[in-house]
Structure formats: structure tokens, C-alpha cells
Amino acid sequence: MKKLLVTFLGILLLTGCTNEKTVSSEKPVPDSTSKVESSKSATEENNKIVTEQNERLIDLPEYAVLVEKISLDTHNATVETDNPGTRIILFENNNGVKAYKSIFVKNDNRLKIIKLDDDGLIYNDIVNR
């Protein structure tokens, strides 16, 4: 009787653990065209947002130099400090990595642009209004 009970419980356990869905060994092949298109549209949308956010920089005296030295289409500007003496702006690339830092000394109209990787200081001069 005990053997029959153990056998019955074993069969019940095995049937309870099995999955009734048929598992296919074939993996679905993703549609690479739609992936590329969605990647393009995401990049275009991101560039549009970056451009709109950077439009607030147009009225700044250092804007002409920033446009010349930094691709504002692909870098998002964040004003970190804007006090009566200095303005510090950080520029992030599309991946969210900080790539550039600009320091504008208002009293002297001096602008410094620093590339945050190995290049270091890429601009240091007085900006004409």
C-alpha cells in the first residue's frame, strides 16, 4: 500500500511540474529593418530634443564660440552655475556622458572650453560681444 501511495505521489508530482505548452527549439528571428528604423527615429527624436534644449543658449555672449567648438546638435547643455561672476555649462553626448565643460567669466568676457576626455583645454580666449 505504501509503495502504491509513493508511486501515485511521484506521478502526481511529475505531472504537476510539467509545462503543457510546446517548446519550440527555433528562436524567432527579429526583424532587423524595424530595429534600424526605430533606432533612427529614436536618434532623430533625441537630436530634436537636444536642439530645442540648446536654443536657450542663443542669447548668451559665448554662444558663437560654443557652436563653433561643440556640436550642439548632438550635445545637450546643462547650466550648472550662473552667478554674477561666472557661468558653467556642461555638455553631455547622446549617451549621457559629459563631454565638454565651458566656463565663462563674465567680468572679463573670458571663455574656456574643456573637452573632458584626453584633449583637455580646447579654447581659452576673450569673447567679443
pLDDT of 72-97, one tens digit each? 989 999 999 999 999 999 999 989 99
Q: Is the pTM of this model over 0.85?
A: no
User: Any idea what the Cα angle at residue 91 is, between residues 74 and 53, rounded to 5°?
Assistant: 65
- Between CA 38 and CA 121 the distance in angstroms is 37
pLDDT(25) > 80: no
Average pLDDT in the chain: 81
- Between CA 103 and CA 114 the distance in angstroms is 8
Kindly list the domain boundaries of the chain, sorted by start residue.
40-129
CB neighbours of residue 92 within 10 Å: 16
Q: How many residues does the chain have?
A: 129
**Segment 35-49 mean pLDDT:** 60
pLDDT(68) > 70: yes
